[in-house]
Homo-oligomer: A and B are copies of this chain.
Amino acid sequence: MKRIENFKSIIDKYDIIFFDAFGVIKTYQGLVPGIHKTFDYLEAQGKEYYIVTNDASRSPVQLAESYHRHGLKHITHDRIVSSGMLTKEYLDLKVDDGIVAFLGTPESSHYIDSSGLHTLPVSQINADNIDKVNALIFLDDEGFNWCDDLNKTVNILRKRTIPVIVANTDKAYPVSLSDVGIAIGGIAAMIESIIGKQFIRFGKPDSQMFMFAYDLIREYRPISKKQIVMVGDTLQTDILGGNKFGLDTVLVLSGNTLPKDADNRITSTGIVPTYICDSAVVGLDGFDF
């Protein structure tokens, strides 16, 4: 584990950079100040990059638009790999027909829409259509009535033996400097524990996320895992997942892991990044805009 002063030296070492989104590129307040310099430098150097995110609430196109609105024009939708894309792949491969019930916003569901399948919010499942429900998906913590629809979800899953997909494994996410929100991954874990069935989880640290990005690259060029580095702010997802997939990893201290806690957390979890760096912002030395 090495401390790195300037994120620039990380970029110089690798051909491809995987970035986590939240806590690395953006926070609840908007973009991480100065992060555009990192993408300027990446483009100037001809390096490739992907955003590997557990955010399944919107499609890559919508996520990219959100970066653009905030002034970061570099990130295009084809650079974004989300746990929602794995969910969509699962449905394409494994669910042939019928209804896919979901918890989340309408936006999140359009995204997983697939030919032959009918997505329907849990609130619209009833005695008439429950027998056609062939999968249930936890997409987002918004867009439904928690009390009504979580109780309904429990009872649908007691009646139907179907695959249940959790498209975002996070338990909580920051909503302000001091507050967090309960994420759909936390809600899904409660339902799983109540009904005692095993759900399918996509999202870091699961290696399928990294594999998806890795496969995207391999479609147009040969690559070795040695040429890729994963940059993230969370030991249990970004760093553990990147390490396990065989990538070098950088823990940045601009999000979930505070500078004062980093060493303690690494020791207590046993999850060791290859590098630690204050942020993913390229510093001034030797490269200025």
Q: Which of B208, B225, B270 contacts A245 (CB 8 A)?
A: B208
- A149-164 vs B, CB cutoff 8 Å, 1 = contact: the mask equals 0110011011101111
Given contacts A186-B193, A193-B186, A207-B208, contact A270 B198 (CB under 8 A): yes
Top 8 closest A-B pairs, CB basis?
A197-B270, A146-B146, A190-B190, A93-B246, A146-B147, A155-B179, A207-B208, A171-B194
**Which residues of chain A from 261 to 278 have any CB-CB distance to chain B below 8 Å in the complex?**
264, 266-272
Nearest B residue (CB) for A218:
B218
In addition to A145-B147, A198-B240, 7 A-B residue pairs with Cβ atoms within 8 Å of each other are A146-B147, A155-B178, A162-B272, A197-B271, A200-B244, A207-B207, A264-B264
A182 in contact (CB, < 8 A)? yes
Question: How many residues of A are in contact with the other chain, CB < 8 A?
Answer: 59
- Spell out A's residues near B (CB within 8 Å): 89-90, 93-94, 145-147, 150-151, 154-155, 157-159, 161-164, 171-172, 178-182, 186-187, 189-190, 193-200, 206-208, 211, 225-226, 236, 240, 243-248, 264, 266-272
- Whether the Cβ atoms of B151 and A182 lie closer than 8 Å is yes
Contacts of A264 in B (CB 8 A): 264
In-complex Cβ contact of A225 among B93, B236, B244 (8 A): B93
Residue of B whose beta carbon sits closest to that of A91: B246
